[in-house]
Structure 1
Amino acid sequence: MKRVFIFLAEGFEEIEAITPIDVLRRAQIDVTTVSISDKREVHGAHKIPIVADVVFADADFSGADLLVLPGGLPGSTNLNEHIALKELLVDFSNKGKLIGAICAAPLVLGGLGLLKDKTATCYPGVEGKLTGAKHTGAPLEVDGNIVTAKGIGAAMKFALQLVSMLKSKEEANRLAKEMVVE
């Protein structure tokens, strides 16, 4: 079974976290939510509390197939300040494993140089932090092992793309039909 870790930082964008969690789990993919703080309860940008499955310090990332960074502010800034997460992302990228980031969260990848010469997208106004990327402004971009999405409006497309890459396009289409995605 494929394993996914979705990172939650104080101020994350709720829709950009919950949509991939829900859709990936519907696809029978093992999803673990990870608080980057020392508390499992994390508050989103709109003050919705979410209880993560585990805190970063207690997580075992071995066998992971995908790391996902939801956006939001100050969530993306908080992700970007977490040194161990950034080390994990670099290691993942060096191994060619999948990384997904949506909204402002691609700024973390840009700051690490992981978007150099890659096509990417992000929330308007964050483009300058995608160091070395070819920014398109499209709702969704896939370049090699990196998937980026523009924001809340692209959350479902982002989640279905991740399903497509981890399982199959057919599974993503089945889910889209079942969830009446139009």
Structure 2
Amino acid sequence: MTTDHIEAPERVYPATTTGERQALEQWLEFHRVTLAMKCAGLSDEQLRTLAAPPSELNLLGLVRHMAEVERGWFRKVLAGEETTWLYADDEDHDRDIHTTEGDTYAEAYATWQAEIAHARELAAEHSLDDLGAGTHHRTGDLINLRWIYLHMIEEYARHNGHADLLRERIDGSAGL
């Protein structure tokens, strides 16, 4: 089965003369769609293709990881929700990346999109300067929505670079 039945949304380049919030939201959306585009047209088996030993990185794992990242920063930090991780557990904190033959893109994509939709709803309730109800997991600092947007753009951009290399390894496609 391929991801052909799941079409990546159309990627829209961010406007060049917009306000700060719109620019942040448009760049984040651009990078979200870019990851979906990197996965389009591949089978679950291809999406589980590892980068290169010893790395266990794969496209399916990146989608699952980004679902966890969306959940962590928007639900846990911004909204202060008491929620569990989607894939990680006490035995394997990187279970999002550690995919098995039973893990599918259909499930990962649906989960990721649900987290994105919830993140959008939560962000819409806050101004850029509003502090989240949770704190940074490493520093304990309070974080405003602006910082979360900037971090999410950085996180997606970094992993989209990984996705470029993974996709090129799988079928020679480069760019997008």
Say whether the fold is shared (TM-score over 0.5): no
More helix by share: 2
Q: What is the TM-score normalised by the length of structure 1?
A: 0.31
Q: Which has the larger radius of gyration?
A: 2
- More RCO (CA 8 Å, sep 6+): 2
More strand by share: 1
TM-score, length of structure 2 as denominator length: 0.31
